[in-house]
Structure 1
């Protein structure tokens, strides 16, 4: 019976390669997304859809350039146009990633029945050759009157992983939940 419980626990647990910084960050980011959505925040996928649409346009441009009816000397101007469009749309895609997304894990809508009218932008950083994971939560519309103050924490990933690379989800959920509660806390008015 104990062996079966241990086997089930290993199947359900999230395991990472402790020597791979991308593996650690991926598991932590995935868990953060689960925690935020479990708190009633629905994910806003509009930005992802825009990026997918632009990526589709880029692929269509490349396919037109590849399979155009005429052979090379005859389609020179068409190819130049396709190359220019390909570059322009790739630059647009990079600008969206650089200016809007940055280190964002997810964008959310406000929870249903909430008094706030803005969602969250949840971002994380785990620099290479570092064990310090930084998680920050800011308002999706920082200029809104209902925007909360940005909150973040920085902690070592060694606090959340066992020596075998298994994520201790209870500890991580507690830390992320406290950060979400800190963001959602109503600031007390000074008398």
Structure 2
């Protein structure tokens, strides 16, 4: 059996999302995870949610994204709001995946990139815990990836939802730890 290959997914740490959250500690934890991952020569991949001009991917029936067309170009792929925050700036050799839905896999080429890199284990960091992290974890589990969630590198508008997910739901399909504990294991 071949050795496991891991990648860190840094999801939705983009200007328009992190500024609404107002939680510097989650950005700090994600930053420590990114630096430790890079130092260990483990792949880091960034994921951001963005749409084409005019939002052709956002169906009116979609309760999460249907109203985006009314926001002008705020969440289009070239908008400053959809770019990865400077504190976690991707290196030129680190892929930045653009997704069109909540899960990092939906409407993106993430699975293609992961398979090409022979990644079979994912470490998840993201905003929001009840959004991109939950959706990506569920889909990744169905795709047979081994999973780790960095609880302190995830955040949600509702701290109780974050707690329930990281303490009760995620452990059913993933190892849940902190950025610093995971970094020590590298």
TM-score, reference length from structure 1:
0.31
Larger Rg: 1
TM-score, reference length from structure 2:
0.31
Structure number with higher strand proportion? 2
Structure number with higher helix proportion? 1
